[in-house]
Amino acid sequence: MAETPLLALRGLSIAFGGLRAVQDVSLDVRAGTLSALIGPNGAGKTTLFALMSGFLKPDAGQVLFDGQDITGRAPHLNARAGMTRTFQIVQPFAAQTVRENIAVGAHLHEPRRAAALAQAEQVAQQVGLAAQLDKPAGDLTVAGRKRLELARALATRPRLLLLDEVLAGLNPQEIAEMIPVVRRIAEGGVTVLMIEHVMQAVMNLAEHVWVLAQGQLIASGTPAEVTADERVIEAYLGHGAAARLQAANA
Amino acid sequence: MRRDLALVAAFALAIAALTWVLDSGVWLNFVMMTLYAALLAQAWNLLGGYGGQFSFGHALFFGCGAYVQAVAQLQGGLDAWFALALAVVVAAAVGLFVGALTFRYGLKGSYFALVTLAFAEVFRILAVSVEFTGGGVGLMLPLRESAANLQFGSRKGYIALVLGFVVAALLVTTWLRHSRFGAQLQAVRDNEDAARAVGVDPMRTKLGAITLSAAFMGAAGAFYLQVFQYIDPGIAFGPHVSVEALVGAIVGGMGTLWGPLLGAAVLHLLADLTRNLFGQLPGLNMVIYGVVLVLIVMFLPRGLAGMGRSLRELWKRRDG
């Protein structure tokens, strides 16, 4: 008997009007892994995240968390059970300080205010925000906001962290700084599934990669395997691209 | 937290001392009405300022409090103090009910404002139409002056009562600022989806806020009845009280501890001043009042409590 995957999707589908955003997606995320979901723009990655975390209800299929059916369960209940997502478009509580922002996450398991604020400080150190604890969140740079997004989610002490493009919009140096942060989180025992466009990060971090194109899973494997896959290359570069690349390399 | 509590205590003592030494009826009346307006604004601030849910019909809870206070004494034969407790509880329950209906369907922003306004109007029409509220004539509380009946011979007694409510509202606000519930409420206000993602139940936090807010409005309604001993549907559920509550909070500073109090005081002072100075030219006082209101909203988006910061930013923008 194989171990129960921490997160399992079974035949998940959703359509918006005539647009079939996610079609029959099934995948297993094993506990303790760091994996990635990639795919061209509009492939349905963020929609898939919304389906997993309960922000959207699927038309068909199931989401199992730790073996339990949580399909369509409200996001706050999923967060309580240990699954927290971040947003691609960062969503800080702009009027509040960085410390207060992170404390909202810490409050999930910590009713006392002082303790939650203290935990916020620890988490801020983990993601490199310690120097900016008392700044209003609205004053942070893009890189700072991405870190805040990560910190707030991390403060909920998740078992599964769904990271939606935490590296998008960062410059190469900021990306290089952020990669070890994500790696340390995974090494700390948190299972991480990330949506990422920055291939440098995917190649560096992920043990396993799923590729989504036009709402369907088209490939899955190690980063090296999927980047060599013809279907993946065609999904990114267009029909016939794989053959042309081979011809060029030959 | 300690600092806030110390300031609240200092405020309560200062008002008590002021009331003790004042013996001009005009000034006592001014203090009482300002505290009453502050209570309305503070109640609105709990939901509007900290919860980000802009109600345009807070008179609904005010009217429920006032009518329960009246009906419980006149028809129920209840003791005035017991009626007061009941008024607060019923107003809170109405708040919970309205909240459950509106938040369940995710009503926000102008939709929430319109629905609360509609609720207040429905109750106003109901109060005109049914028997036990006295219909359009309203209800009159017979004069029976004694502290046991919550009817005081001097304004000082009423000031003590309303000061008690204002301090209670300040304490609840202080608690909001330093508690998990308050942090979650402000998170929902600033970004509901982000709050949900980190485990905040938006329904529960908003319901808590509207219930608290409605309870204080109910207390204000009951207080109003005891002071003026008369209530009718227009006073109880009309837009005047709703507007007074939200303008006080917005002018003073939403989501701040002292803003609503400050807003209520400044607006009252302004209204009284313009009335006294320009009373011989009817309407001019309202024009000036309106202009000042517009200026405050335009140049002080954080209200009077955030005046320093707003002015610094204006200054910086001019330099830059």
The residue with tokens 């206000």 is: B189
Mean pLDDT calculated for residue range B169-177: 97
Cβ-proximal residues to A138 (8 Å cutoff; 6+ apart), any chain: A92, A94, A95
Q: What is the pLDDT of residue B319?
A: 67
Structure token pair of residue B197: 């993602």
Predicted confidence (pLDDT) per residue in B37-48, tens digit = 999 999 999 999
Contact, B184 vs A104, CB < 8 A?
yes
The residue with tokens 């359009």 is: B136
Of B183, B194, B202, the CB nearest to A87: B194
Above pLDDT 90, what percent of chain A?
80
Q: Does the pLDDT of residue A51 top 80, yes or no?
A: yes
Domain boundaries in chain B? 2-242
Q: How far is B200 from chain A (nearest CA, A)?
A: 5
Query: Mean of the per-residue pLDDT values for chain A?
Result: 92
Mean pLDDT calculated for residue range B83-103: 97
Q: What is the pLDDT of residue A1?
A: 47
Q: What is the four-CA torsion angle of A175, A177, A178, A183, rounded to 10 degrees?
A: 120
How many C-beta atoms lie closer than 10 Å to residue A115's C-beta?
14
Interface test with A, best of B198, B204, B206, B313 (most A CBs within 10 A): B198
B201-234 burial string, b = 16+ CB within 10 Å, else e?
A: bbbebbbbbbbbbbbbbbbbbbbbbbbeeebbbb
Q: Does the pLDDT of residue B318 top 80, yes or no?
A: no
CA-based radius of gyration for chain B: 20
Q: What is the pLDDT of residue A25?
A: 96
Picking from A170, A206, A191, A203, the residue whose alpha carbon sits closest to that of residue A88 is A170
Cβ-proximal residues to A123 (8 Å cutoff; 6+ apart), any chain: A102, A105, A106, A151, A154, A155
Residues of B in contact with A155 (CB under 8 A): 198
Of B179, B195, B255, the CB nearest to A104: B195
Half-sphere exposure (Cβ direction) of B262: Cα atoms closer than 13 Å: 17
d(CA A17, CA A36): 28
Query: CB contact, 8 Å: A73 with chain B?
Result: no
Structural domains of chain A sorted by starting position, each given as residue range(s) with its CATH number in brackets: 7-91+158-249 (3.40.50.300)
Using CA coordinates, name the residue in chain A closest to B186: A93
Q: What is the pLDDT of residue B286?
A: 80
Mean pLDDT calculated for residue range A98-103: 96
Question: Is the alpha carbon torsion for A93, A99, A102, A104 positive or negative?
Answer: negative
Contact, B204 vs B49, CB < 8 A?
no
Cα A105 to Cα A2, A53, A94, B74, B263, distances in angstroms:
33, 16, 15, 50, 33
Q: What is the pLDDT of residue B139?
A: 94
Query: CB contact, 8 Å: A74 with chain B?
Result: yes
Q: Lowest-confidence range among A146-160, A191-205, B86-100?
A: A191-205
Q: Does the pLDDT of residue B236 top 50, yes or no?
A: yes
d(CA B88, CA B82): 10
Q: What is the pLDDT of residue A2?
A: 64
Predicted confidence (pLDDT) per residue in A141-152, tens digit = 999 999 999 999
**Does residue A87 come out as left (phi exceeding 0), alpha (psi in the -120 to 50 range) or beta?**
beta
Above pLDDT 70, what percent of chain A?
99
Contact, B267 vs B246, CB < 8 A?
no
Residues of B in contact with A74 (CB under 8 A): 196, 201
Q: What is the pLDDT of residue B311?
A: 82
Query: CB contact, 8 Å: A80 with chain B?
Result: yes
Predicted confidence (pLDDT) per residue in A20-38, tens digit = 999 999 999 999 999 999 9
The residue with tokens 């109060």 is: B127
- Phi first, then psi: give them for residue B224, nearest 5 degrees: -55, -45
Mean pLDDT calculated for residue range A109-129: 95
Contact, B223 vs B161, CB < 8 A?
yes
Highest-scoring range by mean pLDDT, A151-165, A235-249, B268-282 = A151-165
Q: Lowest-confidence range among A92-101, B107-116, B305-314?
A: B305-314
Q: What is the pLDDT of residue B320?
A: 55
Mean pLDDT calculated for residue range A163-188: 92
The interaxial angle of helices B239-252 and B284-299, nearest 10 deg, is 50
Highest-scoring range by mean pLDDT, A37-46, A222-231, B112-121, B289-298 = B112-121
Per-residue confidence band for A133, with pLDDT thresholds at 50, 70 and 90: very high
Cα A182 to Cα A28, A188, A243, B147, distances in angstroms:
21, 10, 35, 66
Q: Does the pLDDT of residue A72 top 50, yes or no?
A: yes
